[in-house]
Structure 1
Amino acid sequence: MSKIIALCGIDGSGKSTYINYISTYFLSLNKSVHVADPMKNGIYNNSLRQGGSCKSSKVMYEKYTPELVSITYALDLLNSMNKIVNLNHDVIITHRHYLCCLACAELFTNNLDMIRKIISLVKRPDLIVYLDTDIEVAYSRIVKRAEELSIKEDKLNLMKCKKTYEKLIEQISTELVIVNTDRDITNNQFELKKLNMKINNIL
């Protein structure tokens, strides 16, 4: 059965960078790897976007209730993970998972009952990699992308999201490693050694 590693953290924490690192690491060990982003371009959230002609997430949150938008993300996560877990790979690495879904939902709504019920059906990862990043560092990385900021990428929401992550990771029973990503990955050897030890343990 595939081992699932889920990367979580605020926008700008380096999820894509560390997914590439972990993927390359496992491939060097001759392990088959599948990388997925289970909440991106999902059928439920896309249906909501297209039905309301929403050109951005900001418009979508303005047009619909935040609870409804969050439910579609949770459904997309469940739908994608149900398909992913049946893939025949040694390792599945996900860009976001249930912690990300909850952390984002809490930015916009306090009514999380239905979202939690949906998420309870999602297969839990074998390892959660939480990328802990200073808000200023994360924001500077986001700005360098030279793209329009999403609704959750302003400093206030980054700060709220980070606090929610910190609260959530205290409650989980899943195997967890916290990696500080303030430094560029090429200068982050101590944190990489800690990460390598954890990902080796799940094989």
Structure 2
Amino acid sequence: MRYIIFDIDGTLTDTTEVDDHCFTQALEETFGFRGFETDYGHYENTTDSGIIHQLFMERDQRTYTEAERERFIQNFLVLLKDAYAQRNDCMKEIPKAGKILHALCTQEGISVGLATGGWRESALFKLSCAGITTAACAAASFAQDARARRDIIGNTILQMNKLHKIDMPLSEIIYVGDGKWDYQATQQLGIQFIGIDNKKLEDLADIVKIGDYDELQLHLV
């Protein structure tokens, strides 16, 4: 058996632009933050929980409370829903993502998981808008589960190991993502990485990249 774990934004769903815009607006409206870095790849942890934690630490020398987190998530979700209502093509699937996800979930010898730096509620909403069904996935982890992406991925691996009652060798685990932070997390964990070919990964020449999901199966043999 092998584990294939997917990121969501930019990997399964074409939602990075609308997500960043609504996330920034939610930070401003929920917490009154202004003048912060909105290129979120520059944060120590490029996850929703990691970014908010860092901003709170820099401004108030504390992390956010659970109540503040929940207030932010609800505001963020309202903004995403409004954006989708105004223009539903802002939340599309990456071409063939739903098809490959379904195929892998039904393929013998493969178990599929999700691990995203986004909140559970926003991630599931974007997947639903993109028409991607994830019910057959073995496990999923979100920004609520950890601040560091490596720990979010690690949480999914632990869930999958518990489900299958095995301790999967790291060499048999693949993470599919679209950002440098995804690659760095796999390096920290010691698992394999397959990148979605885009500008964010153009500086990484010695990694496996796919430009079309039909190519993914070629790297699973």
Shorter-chain TM-score range = 0.3 to 0.5
> Comparing both chains, which one has the higher relative contact order based on Cα–Cα distances under 8 Å and sequence gaps of 6 or more?
1
